[in-house]
Chain A
């Protein structure tokens, strides 16, 4: 496969690269190193710019008014958008707009009116409620939140953890067990309004990602009507699984963007910094670190674009997405670590973005399915799908 960008893709890449370097990075110089938000006036100004670029709502399908960016181009742009201090988790501070959650595009017309369209207009924010205190790597078995039939609806009881944005959201997509005897075929997806009685955001969960927090949720006799079922009863796992697989590709792209930014800093520093009368760049120990960075980046980029290309062509891409996520999150972490080592003491400070990337990249080996689960997915492909 040829992964050289086309001239049209290259034009978009250059446009986004300029935007990051000329608009985003200068603003970050004034923000707290752990900031996850821009000043509202800057945010509004930059949203107008991305609209003028024709790239606002980048993840929204064409039929809903989006710019119709294919997944390969989206990966190439995601690599660029991540290349700033907050870029791993808040690429360009969300100034390219959000699409909401992929599942909501599958909603029925009534649900689209109530949730999808307000989300696309920026009037509502969603959260994604899958992981539970009982585990996140194996959601089919770990989901213990129950939804039981009552009064022409469903009553939810249970808890979710590591849920981003639930405290600021107007609604969420929540997975609950509706048939305990059926394993993964007994899970249903619900849309829960944040003001539903019995829904509580109980606490903040602090993590290495100190720019932003996760939350813990409780559902206590939380009744919702049948109108809140997204898709079909007992078919919610397919909805979750599809999202998890698809999400791994842009997730990998963000890691690559950070790795490129860290690597560029390390190269620049190695050319400038002298120790014992010699530039760092002239020392073999440093050269080898830079070479290993280059290899990690190229490897991750290749596998991520391969996964994206398969997805674009409508081919199965589950294994490729797992390989992409694995190589990008693990390789990206190594690149940032080496860049810090090359920078010495300065690499440990909040003066540079490396320490934030180091902390946040560590999470990437666990988020969206840990490395071990990715390896299990790949092993199934090698050894046969009946391997469980």
Chain B
């Protein structure tokens, strides 16, 4: 066989301009945040709702819980937990079905974008909006209702990990539950009642230990109760731990339950997530 000179291989085309994985994820996150901020409903509902609730609650209950601890100090924990759940669980549970119905997800699937990038974009969006919302809540409460911010590094650390674990669990559950909605409009019908019931039974609107004990036990199966409890450890004096159902703030159990919900949420996401609607194969 004679050796033939192959035509010179075309000079490697312009070096791949595609960004690396980290930058792909950041671009996706930026796009998600931009879409969120431009959608008036999301901004008003997701960011505005917890703040309006704080304004209402702090204005109605301006007394104190004893030992000079104000009601605001107690309710802010529920409001932050609710806010974190709103930006993750409700936000995703409502918007993903809309995007799926519109065919946005299908469109992404037709590109070389690695699947995880889309999820990373949602997570980045949720984290950024969650931090902004928490900061706004704290700022409003400090400015108008004399909220005392945590004063020790360890309290801030607890604040950080409880929030991070809680928002992760709610994000994963929000992505998972998005596959239950059959149409764009049913997302909020699926998610809103769940969120509302959890808020009532988890001690967001009432002092948790004043609730009937069966209700407390039901609430203890879900993440919101533990997020509230973890945040109470941050914003209330240590002595208040004795008032909790378990006789202390039980931070280890908070971590375990929230961690378990992260695992459950992740498994549900991996097994049930749909890129297309049912009628769409």
User: Do chains A and B interact in one complex?
Assistant: no
